[in-house]
Chains A and B, each alone.
Chain A
């Protein structure tokens, strides 16, 4: 079964709490999207983290045909500066390109989005909030809603969907995901935002119940080396 991503809008903005798993989702999403579209661009807008950014996997992504855009001085420049390549305007303006914006964590990371607000027209973009119920500040409905509110205020545009990405890395079980699902369902009820995907390790996905709200999205741990 291939995952149908055609219902998502052309520009997908991936936001959420620091360490919720945005990058792992974004990279997996980009690879899945490439199976359905010819032109896919992944823009690493993380101006917060020095490590574990999607640009670290640029070689692999580009060999899969995905255009990767990151810092103004290239993917490997480990400068501790909040700079974004001007090339990002290309895919945002080219309506033939499917775009994923992998944004840094929290409202601090989302600040970079405000500069591109003009491209986020209602109906033309999706902004997915990645939620991991095992992260310190997003263990409660209030915590998640506060993050959504702060990120929306900073980015200047509303979130359009939720992604349950509740995990404990290699310790993740179906129960881990379902515990998170309870929280995400409550957030969905309180905010009116739909649950778009439930992302979990490909080994865990088959153990999830069938009637679960949201589309199961199997992922691999691409950002972490085997020894981690």
Chain B
């Protein structure tokens, strides 16, 4: 199929429908409104149902219900709206149900602003809801990657029976780019959803979707099982890209839109004879720890580049485990880093290291 030009939010909707999404429950918030708008127009044509809920909380609980019944279901929102959904998300994780949640991140805290940000890093990687659970979190850097990952997001959600989050900063939602919808083959062998609450036909005991375990021993057993599942996801699903690692004096880490700006900065620095590498997490959880083992001995430090105030620094320190000092450069509030700003910081660090 030929490339067409799409806005990020539309492309997310188109990719979700192509991946078999049949139900969408949402509530409007900028900068992701074109996504529910697209779903309201296109999902019924694909035999699905779009419903605008009365709130974010209602929407995520509709997702919980549809997922419990075995449907491919999605919701979307932006940062403060995702905060509202946290209760439902932890219930869905606890009940081991699959769904895809799209978060087009805007500035915070609170209502923040409507311009792009990455300040939901902690919200999406550290839970946000209560309990010992994790989300599989994808953070594509451009629309083609986002479209390509959508099938995988739905498949992984079904395979692991876990909520999956697709994170894009506001720019990923709003930018217009050429995309191609390729035929893809699932990486996963997806079993029948024999747990779905679709009626017993008087042939079996009822299936129950539930996150309440009043017996502490049962709940602990449930948690151990969840942790085993997260360990499998951690072992199998971490994704990343490396760029220009060879002879790098410094390795900068950035995801999403920020990685594109960083790449430009790295290319400009290369022309000046300064070698900087990049590790780009494609999954924020699991964090791609393995990538850091490829860093060459020439590297003197790690730099987290973000559209937030250092939220990824903790993960860099954990993965560094004392191997490298960790530095930070970021903009926030909807301000977008510039290649010049990143270059300035890197030159300051490398100059200081000499």
Contacts and interface: CB of A to CB of B under 8 A. Distances in A.
Interface stretch (A93-101, A167-175, A187-195): A167-175
A134 B176 CA distance: 11
B178 A171 contact: yes
A50 B171 CA distance: 10
A18 B260 contact: no
Q: Do most interface residues of chain A lie in helix, strand or loop, or is the interface mixed?
A: loop
B76 to A, nearest CB: 15
B178 A19 contact: no
Contact of A226 (B4, B115, B339): B339
B174 A134 contact: no
Given A51-B170, A226-B264, A136 B114 contact: no
A117 to B, nearest CB: 26
Instruction: Name the 3 nearest CB pairs between A and B, nearest first.
Output: A51-B174, A227-B264, A168-B178
7 contacts: A51-B31, A51-B116, A134-B178, A167-B5, A225-B336, A227-B260, A227-B263
A80 interface: yes
Nearest to B38: A136
Given A50-B30, A51-B170, A51-B174, A135 B114 contact: no
B87 interface: no
A228 B178 contact: no
Interface string B100-125: 00000000000001111000000000
Contact of A19 (B171, B176, B334): B176
B177 interface: yes
A179 to B, nearest CB: 9
A168 to B, nearest CB: 4
Contacts of B231: none
Interface of A: 18-19, 49-52, 78, 80, 132, 134-136, 139, 167-169, 171, 225-228
B30 A135 contact: no
B261 interface: yes
A80 B178 contact: no
B264 A135 contact: no
Contacts of B30: 50, 80
Nearest to A139: B4
Given A50-B31, A51-B115, A171 B170 contact: no
Nearest to B10: A136
B6 interface: yes
Contacts of A50: 30-31, 114-115, 170, 174
B7 A18 contact: yes
Given A50-B174, A51-B115, A227-B339, A171 B261 contact: no
A134 B179 CA distance: 10
Interface in B268-305: none
A136 B178 contact: no
Nearest to A108: B37
A134 B31 contact: no
B3 interface: yes
Contact of B178 (A49, A52, A169, A226): A169
A211 to B, nearest CB: 26
A171 B31 CA distance: 26
B46 interface: no
A49, A51, A136, A225, most chain B CB atoms within 10 A: A51
Nearest to B31: A50
Contacts of A80: 30, 114
B175 interface: yes
Given A168-B178, A169-B176, A51 B5 contact: no
Contacts of B261: 227
B177 A169 contact: yes
A19 B178 CA distance: 12
B253 to A, nearest CB: 17
A134 B260 contact: no
A78 B114 contact: yes
A134 B5 contact: yes
A20 to B, nearest CB: 9
